[in-house]
Amino acid sequence: MSTGMGLDLLGRPNAMAEAMRRMDPRMDMPMPMAEFRPLFAMWALMMAAMMLPTLVPTLRTYDDLIRIADGTRAGWLGVLAGYALVWIGMAALFAGVQQALLFAGVIDMLGIATSRWIGAALLVATGAFQFTRLKAVCHGVCHSPMMYFLGHWWAGGAGGLRMGLGLGAYCAVCCWGFMALGFVGGVMSLAWMGIATLLMIVEKLPQIGHYILKPVGAVLILAGVALAAWPLIAGA
């Protein structure tokens, strides 16, 4: 079954996708996936789809502050706008990176790393980040936005925008690795980007979010090692 983008539901390329992967971005013909604006639009839509589920708890927390503190509806909209601005910026960053990697031959037209070593390195780097203090701090803010609001409270719409920008920045740092994993399995693969979204949502769950950071990191590192060693594993 096809996703309609040249990949099956498991993210494996079909014949059309294989033809796209072999295309050179420097060819003299229209290639939307080699141009910044289509890439930016694609990343902006993916960011919205991936991050909206993780934003809901933050907006609910601000709703509580409307009832029990001096939160306002304008402040709520400001938080949403600030958060959105950060992720629009991230979409532009990822679009620029993808375009640069494409023309450098590091990834193909589907956004998949052209070498298993690149994919393996990205998996290991993302997994290792799960063990860092930076990840723990940023995850703590995303996981418990109330603490951020209490420590960085600004009233009104402008205050909400300021807090939304801050929260969005923390979440961007927290989740960049999961976004970047698209370059392992393909940024146009619904399966791969769905897995990244699921990981981000599970990390925000109050009951288990803090407990899965390092296990997820260990799994990603092992996956990277397995990918690097795949020829040896397959030939065994």
Nearest to 38 by CA among 115, 102, 134: 102
- Would you state the pLDDT for residue 13? 53
Whether residue 97 lies inside any domain: the answer is: yes
With H, G, I as helix, E, B as strand and everything else as coil, classify residue 118.
helix
- What tokens were used for 227? 């990918």
Whether residue 166 lies inside any domain: the answer is: yes
* Sign of CA pseudo-dihedral 129, 195, 123, 227: positive
DSSP state of 196: H
Query: Exposed/middle/buried for 182, CB within 10 Å: 0-12, 13-18, 19+?
Result: buried
53: phi > 0 → left, psi -120 to 50 → alpha, else beta; which?
alpha
Q: Quick check: 55 and 83 in contact, CB under 8 A?
A: yes
Torsion angle, CA of 206/208/210/216, rounded to 10 degrees? -140
- Would you state the pLDDT for residue 2? 38
Whether residue 236 lies inside any domain: the answer is: no
CB under 8 A, 24+ apart: contacts of 44-48: 44/87, 44/88, 44/91, 46/91, 46/187, 46/193, 47/87, 47/88, 47/90, 47/91, 47/179, 48/87
Q: How many residues does the chain have?
A: 236
- Would you state the pLDDT for residue 169? 95
Q: Name residues of the chain where pLDDT drops below 50.
A: 1-11
- Would you state the pLDDT for residue 110? 80
- What tokens were used for 94? 């990822």
CB under 8 A, 24+ apart: contacts of 22-25: 22/108, 23/109, 25/102, 25/103, 25/109
Total number of domains in the chain: 1
Whether residue 55 lies inside any domain: the answer is: yes
Whether residue 18 lies inside any domain: the answer is: no
- Would you state the pLDDT for residue 6? 44
Whether residue 19 lies inside any domain: the answer is: no
pTM: 0.81
Whether residue 132 lies inside any domain: the answer is: yes
Range of the domain at 107: 31-231
Distances from the Cα of 158 to the Cαs of 51, 85, 204, in angstroms?
Answer: 22, 14, 26
The C-alpha atoms of residue 228 and residue 222 are separated, in whole angstroms, by 10
Whether residue 11 lies inside any domain: the answer is: no
- What tokens were used for 100? 């640069």
Q: Quick check: 123 and 227 in contact, CB under 8 A?
A: yes
Q: Quick check: 85 and 165 in contact, CB under 8 A?
A: yes
The C-alpha atoms of residue 37 and residue 42 are separated, in whole angstroms, by 9
